[in-house]
Structure 1
Amino acid sequence: MTRRTVRFARAVVVSILVIATASAGAAAPPPDPARQAEYWLDDYGIRTAWQTTRGAGTTIAVIDTGIGRGPAEFEGAVSAGADFSGAGSADGRTPVGGDDGNHGSWVASLAASRGTGPDTGMIGVAPEANLLSLSIGFGGVSDIPFATQVADAMVWAVDHGADVINLSFTTNLLEWDPSWDEAFTYAYENDVVVVVAAGNRGTGTDRVGAPATIPGVLTVGGVDRRGVASQEASTQGITIGISAPSEELLGVSADGRVVVWDGTSGAAPIVAGVAALVRSAHPALDANNVINRIIQTARPVPGVTARPDPLYGYGLLDAAAAVSASVPAVSANPMGDLAEWIRIYRRAEQEPAPAPTSTPVALPELPAADSPSGPPPPFLPSIDTLVYGTVPLSGVTVVAILVALGVTAAVRRIRSARASR
């Protein structure tokens, strides 16, 4: 996996939110424009889910470019953090990267920002959940291999109490570094829900790539305000599990500015926030059943019959149903088994050699050979051929050789004597 292949699953910021001013002589202050712009709170059942829980007691790890320190919306939200890029600060709160530095703050604000008051400022899906800020770097921002940064951040998040891990990036590659096998397995073994963005066509992602292809993650596709698969701010693939808004989203930048942006990078933390709501409302549920509740309570997409569908997964997110509906329990992760994938494709485990199931069989000795019953073949040697043929011939041959050697020596002596005269 090269650093050039890594892409954020997002589009560029399209506008800055304009804060409206109150009309002169109004009896009451107008509704806060930021809060009004969060259409997903009502359209996807999040406000209804808040009647049951707002995510208290849960922790969402955001592995991204870092969550800014300054914005009021993050006051009291970030409980801990760390940097894995070598380019940020130890607490993970310094934005890493130039243009991408605000990305981590935008993602975190959708998951669990606090707003600036009871009815003002941008509020996240799980506004009482805690956040972990784990900063990583992309491209030339960090000298540390990207796969190593992600693997180390995953382990740190698990060890520091993450209930949900959000990954809003894609590598555009179906395969992933083997180090991720261990890191994602560690998360699953410690009962952590891993939510991943599917990626965007607008940034060159034609099909889902790792980590969205890793078995067991909840991959999030994106839809527009009508609930239709986004042409620019989403992609497709058989690993998509759920769809959520990915257009006209809000995000709080590291410097406190509120912006409008697109991308499954924003759809993923909306789902991560709902996962936190489910875990808060049902603390006894394991990660497999949290994921199962989210996909099984999804709203059907009109005209789409396949479940899962390569564009929509199991359907459109429904936070209220995920929190409150009755859903049968499952014993396995509905999004796949990474351990089995590793066993088959990494050949991490070999099938044991079959043990013998039979005992040796004793065979009787072979019978003695029959004695010859007729004259031997004429071409085999006999005592007569040895006495009258082979032995005399050998003697004559030896005598002839000796005579030839003697004659040769005599001739050489005569020639040597003549030459000396």
Structure 2
Amino acid sequence: MAATALTGLLVAGVPLVTAPPVSAVTPPPVDESFLPAPAPPAPPQRTAQRSECSGAVRTAGADAATGSSQLDMLDLPKVWPLTRGAGQTVAVIDTGVARHRLLPRLIPGGDYVSTGDGTDDCDGHGTLVAGIIGASGEFDGVAPDAAVLGIRQSSNKFGPADEPGAGGYGDVHTLALAVRAAADLGATVINVSSVACLASAEALDDRALGAALSYAVDVRNAVVVTAAGNVGGPGQCPTQNPTNPGRPDWRTVESIASPAWYDDLVLTVGSVTADGAPSAFTLAGPWVDVAAPGERVVSLDPDGDGLVDALPAARDATPIAGTSYAAPVVSGVAALVRSRWPHLTARQVMQRIEDTAHRPPGGWDPVVGHGVVDVSAAVSGGAPAALPDDTARPVAVPPDVRADPRPRRIATAGAGLCVGVAILVGWSASSRRHARADRIARD
């Protein structure tokens, strides 16, 4: 099948543009008949490893844990006395999450790439994402007491076994499967740092993904956070969308991003610098909701027990950057909010994060949405009222599905226990949250 790349983490040999730009877009209406059936996580077809796992990631150094990181601007120590994310399970649907001493609450969630349990990360990307959310120790993620549910859904190191020349595995269909699995396993927050990005809605069939997102949010009450996408480099979005502030404009979209364009169902995150300025690579769009730091990233070494702050490049290491790493910041914030106020629905949590963000001068902005997340404002103040959520659609839970209680029990008890090397530095933002395109590259 022809492959549609997910920006940021490139699947080898995958074309990004297959059709001319469109003047107006709209995601397909959610059709519950496309919801994937419940099944144990497994690749839909036989796969084979095509290249060695990535391990040549430069470590940040012995003093990285006490030095600066992209999370400093959030002033997290100020909010941790109120909430550290206890009782929450954040699913990381990515390249897997490797076991690490600073991820004491890692839960194996399954593997759609090979025969593992979700704790193999041959690409390194998912472990970086997970560390930003739930690392605990000398380096803390945003929600250090939350459990992390690792699900491997894509990899640049694998390919279909019956297609020897094909490199890269994972598409919007496997992403749909993984979203449903994460919801059924009890995830309260689901992080998707992947973007299928292309220039034509006609070339994208992601109806199964739309149905899975609706199921996760409206049936299983999970907050879904996704990256906005990167633009300006190989394997990334083809062109930048208009960046005029004021109000979302779906008529001028040139690069479509999924799952971000399901704006009613996901919280889409753009990237900013440590100073709060929009990152040069972050993809704008009418679906962007908020922004978070996504440059000069420090997180967990996927091939060791320390930290990393750079990726291997042709000559020198490259600082880690991308909207892939801004999304888990907001997933962590969602876990903090849900832990502090468990009575809030998924949609109410997303709305609160939007409402408390630092507003851009011109109002809503297609690059940073409602603004940079303000963690202190999101988790402080009086308890929000649990008002009826009249935007939720009642959908019956299929009788053959039972949520696995283990993740929540493990998270509550504090037991602890995954595509490509994390993104090349990206030169790579909602009216209201409004890929079976093929291969996925990671944002």
What does residue range 320-331 of structure 1 map to in structure 2 within 5 Å? Answer: 320-325=376-381, 329=387, 331=390
Q: Deviation of residue 331 (structure 1)? A: 3.8
- Normalised to the residue count of structure 1, the TM-score between the two structures is 0.68
**One-letter code aligned to 2:107:** S
Alpha carbons 2:153, 2:170 under 8 Å: kept: no
Q: Deviation of residue 132 (structure 1)? A: 0.6
Name the CA distance, whole Å, in 2 between partners of 1:259 and 1:145: 26
What does residue range 245-394 of structure 1 map to in structure 2 within 5 Å? Answer: 245-256=293-304, 257-260=306-309, 261-301=320-360, 304-307=361-364, 309-325=365-381, 329=387, 331-332=390-391, 336=432
**One-letter code aligned to 2:376:** A
Q: Deviation of residue 73 (structure 1)? A: 1.1
In structure 2, stretches of 5+ residues that fail to align are 11-53, 161-168, 241-254, 310-319, 393-429, 435-443
Q: Deviation of residue 88 (structure 1)? A: 4.7
The alpha-carbon distance between structure 1 residues 149 and 63, as it changes in their structure 2 partners (threshold 3 A), is same
Q: Deviation of residue 15 (structure 1)? A: 7.8
**Structure 2 residue 245 is the aligned partner of structure 1 residue 223:** no
Name the CA distance, whole Å, in 1 between partners of 2:261 and 2:184: 24
Name the CA distance, whole Å, in 2 between partners of 1:298 and 1:127: 22
Name the CA distance, whole Å, in 1 between partners of 2:432 and 2:55: 34
- Normalised to the residue count of structure 2, the TM-score between the two structures is 0.64
Task: Tell me what 2:36 maps to.
Answer: none
**One-letter code aligned to 1:79:** I
Which structure has greater helix proportion?
1
**Structure 2 residue 148 is the aligned partner of structure 1 residue 131:** yes
Greater gyration radius = 1
Task: Tell me what 1:95 maps to.
Answer: 121
Task: Tell me what 1:79 maps to.
Answer: 107
Name the CA distance, whole Å, in 2 between partners of 1:185 and 1:315: 25
Q: Deviation of residue 18 (structure 1)? A: 4.1
What secondary structure does 2:353 align onto? helix
The alpha-carbon distance between structure 1 residues 266 and 35, as it changes in their structure 2 partners (threshold 3 A), is farther
Task: Tell me what 2:400 maps to.
Answer: none
Cα root mean square deviation, aligned = 2.6
In structure 1, stretches of 5+ residues that fail to align are 21-31, 339-421
Alpha carbons 1:66, 1:94 under 8 Å: kept: yes
**One-letter code aligned to 1:210:** S
Q: Deviation of residue 39 (structure 1)? A: 4.5
Greater shift after overlay, 245-254 or 203-212?
203-212
What secondary structure does 2:303 align onto? coil
**One-letter code aligned to 2:294:** S
CA-to-aligned-CA distance 1:59-89 (integer Å, 9 cap, x gap): 00000000112x2112x2212310012x251
Higher RCO, 1 or 2 (CA under 8 Å, sep at least 6)? 2
2:130 aligns with one of 87, 108, 130: 108
Q: Deviation of residue 17 (structure 1)? A: 4.5
